[in-house]
Structure 1
Amino acid sequence: MRRRKLLAVTLSTAVVGALGVLGITNASAAALDPTLPPGGNFDLAIWQLQLPTGSPGSPDTISPAKLKGASGYNNPTYFWTDKNDGSMTFWAPEKGVTTPNSNYARSELREMNRDGSAANWSLSGNHTLSAQLRIPSVTKNVCVGQVHLGTGGSSTKPLLELYYRPNGDIYIGTENSPAGGQTLHKVGNVALGVKWTYVINVTGNKINLTVNGSKTSYTIPSSFNPYKQYFKAGSYNQSSSDSTSNGAKVKFYSLTVSHG
C-alpha cells in the first residue's frame, strides 16, 4: 500500500511538473464556463479591448470596467465565448478599422492597470505574459502576443511580436531599435487548430520566450532603455484586403499577467 501511495505521489508530481513546463498551471487548466462572457472566465479587469470597428484611424475600444465579470462585454462577431469549449475567441478580418500606425485590423487586448490607467512598466523588474491558445484559421499571418512600447519617446513600435502562420510556424519578431526594423526567429511549429502555450518574460535587458516548453532568449538593445512597455494579446491580423470573411480567429484557454 505504501509503495502505491509513493507511486501515486511521484506520478502526480511528474504530471504537475510537466504541465508547469508547458505553461499550464492549475489556474490555466481550470474549466471554462461556455455560458459566460469572456470576463466571466478570464481576469479582464487589467485589459482594454480594441475592435476592428469604429471610424478610420480610431477603432472602437472597450474598457476593463465593461469587460470584466460574469455580465461583461460580449461581441458575437469579434470577441466572444465559444459555446463548445469556453475559450475566449477573437476574430480580426482583413478588412476593418485600423489604428493610425497600422494597416491591419485587430481584435486585441491591451494591458491596463487595475485602477483603469494604461499599463506602462519599465524594463527593470520581472514581467510575464502567459497563455494557452489555438488558432483555427488564419489567412497569412497573425500576431497573438506583443510587448509594445509605451511612454519614453516618439516611437510607436513593438518591442516584440509573436506570430503564427497557416503552416503552423511560430515566429518571434524582435525589434532592432525604436526606429524600426524587425528580426524574425522561428521558435516552433504547431498544426493549425492544435492548442499550444507561450510565456513571454521580460527581465532587465532580456526577452525570454517559452513555446510549448522550449525556451529562447534575446538581448534587448540599449536604445529601448528610455521606453516603458505594456503587453498585448489577441488576434492582430497581419494581412489586409477588401474581404470581411478572410482573417484570423484566435482562441485563448488561459491568459495571465504577472509583474515582480
Structure 2
Amino acid sequence: MAFPARTSVPAVLLGALALFGSATAAASPTVDSLDPTVAPGGNFDLGVWELQLPIGSPGSPTTIRSSDLVGADGYTNPAYFWTDKNDGSMTFWDPEKGVTTPNSNYARSELREMNRDGSAADWSLSGTHRLSAELRVVSVTKNVCVGQIHLGSGGSSTKPLIELYYHSNGDVVLGTENSPDGGQTTHYLTNVPMGQHWTYTLAVENDQIKVTVNGHTTTYPIQGGFYDYRQYFKAGDYNQSASDSTSNGAKVKFYSLTVSHG
C-alpha cells in the first residue's frame, strides 16, 4: 500500500474529523502547512492519542491526556515534546536516562492511541487498521522505535505485535513478535540516511501485517496466539538504549501522523 497523497488540511478542521467507530482517517497536515508558532496539537489531530513522557516517579511515567494535548494552546514540553520553530514538526526527545514503565528498561516520549471519548483504543485484529507517518530521525545513540502495534486486552502479555526501529546507521528494521510470550524476529527493510524524511505505514489487513516504508510494502503472517488479544497503535520516540546519561538519546520529528480503522 502506497503512502496516501499529501493534501493540505487546515489545522482548525482536524478536531472535526471522527475516528472511533468510523472508517475515516484522522487527517494530518503536510510539511508546508505546519504552523511553527502553535503547540503540536495545533498542527496534528492529537484527540486520538495520549502522551507518555520519560519523567515522573519510578515505574510510573507522566502521562498527558488527549484532552490536554489538543489545540493550538495544547500541552507542550520544551525538553521532551514540542513544535520545532523552524519547520513546525512535532518533535520528541528521549534521553537514555529516564523514568520507564515497569515492563521496560527504556524510557520514551511516545504517543499511545486512544478513542475520541478518552478511553483506551483496543481494537480487534479483524478489519483494516492503519498508522501512517512522515518523519525524520535527527539523532539516536543505537536505535529508536518510531511506531508500534501493541497488544491490548485479552491476556497478561505486555508485548507488541510489531515494532518499527530506526538504527543509528540508517537501517530501518521491523521487529515481529514470535508469540505473546515474547521473542522477536527482525527484518531489514531499507536504509534512510540520518536526518532524511521518510514515510511508513503499519497496517493490519485481511489477517496479515502489512508494513510500507517509502512506498515499498512487505507482508507478514499473524501468529495464532495473537488473535486472543486486541490491539492499539503507538508512535513517537521509544529509545532502545539506556545509560546514566541525560544528554545521549534520540530525537524524532514527525511531519504527519494518521490513524484509520475500517
Deviation for aligned residue 1:24: 4.5
* Alpha-carbon distance between aligned partners in 2 of 1:136 and 1:205, rounded to the nearest angstrom: 34
CA contact (8 A) 2:3 2:132 kept: no
Deviation for aligned residue 1:26: 1.1
- 1:25 and 2:1 correspond: no
* Alpha-carbon distance between aligned partners in 2 of 1:72 and 1:174, rounded to the nearest angstrom: 34
* Alpha-carbon distance between aligned partners in 2 of 1:64 and 1:211, rounded to the nearest angstrom: 28
Q: Mapping of 1:1-260 within 5 angstroms? A: 21-27=2-8, 28-29=29-30, 31-260=33-262
Name the SS for the 1:45 alignment partner: helix
The one-letter amino acid paired with 2:207 is N
* Alpha-carbon distance between aligned partners in 2 of 1:145 and 1:23, rounded to the nearest angstrom: 17
Q: Return the TM-score normalized by structure 2.
A: 0.90
Summarize deviations over 1:186-244 as a string: whole Å, max 9, x none.
Answer: 11110000000001111242100000001100000011001000000000000000000
* Alpha-carbon distance between aligned partners in 2 of 1:48 and 1:87, rounded to the nearest angstrom: 18
Deviation for aligned residue 1:21: 3.3
Aligned residues: 241
Deviation for aligned residue 1:22: 4.2
CA contact (8 A) 1:23 1:199 kept: no
Higher Cα radius of gyration = 1
* Alpha-carbon distance between aligned partners in 1 of 2:177 and 2:203, rounded to the nearest angstrom: 16
CA contact (8 A) 1:139 1:247 kept: yes
Name the SS for the 1:242 alignment partner: coil
Summarize deviations over 1:165-194 as a string: whole Å, max 9, x none.
Answer: 011000000000000000000111100000
Q: Where do 4+ consecutive residues of structure 1 move more than 2 Å?
A: 20-25, 27-30
* Alpha-carbon distance between aligned partners in 2 of 1:22 and 1:148, rounded to the nearest angstrom: 21
The structure in which a higher percent of residues are helix is 1
Summarize deviations over 1:64-105 as a string: whole Å, max 9, x none.
Answer: 000001110000000000000000000010000000000000
* Alpha-carbon distance between aligned partners in 2 of 1:237 and 1:184, rounded to the nearest angstrom: 17
* Alpha-carbon distance between aligned partners in 2 of 1:141 and 1:24, rounded to the nearest angstrom: 29
Deviation for aligned residue 1:31: 1.1
Percent identical pairs in the alignment equals: 70
CA contact (8 A) 1:23 1:197 kept: no
CA contact (8 A) 1:23 1:198 kept: no
* Alpha-carbon distance between aligned partners in 2 of 1:25 and 1:219, rounded to the nearest angstrom: 29
RMSD value, Cα: 1.1
Partner residue, 2:12: none
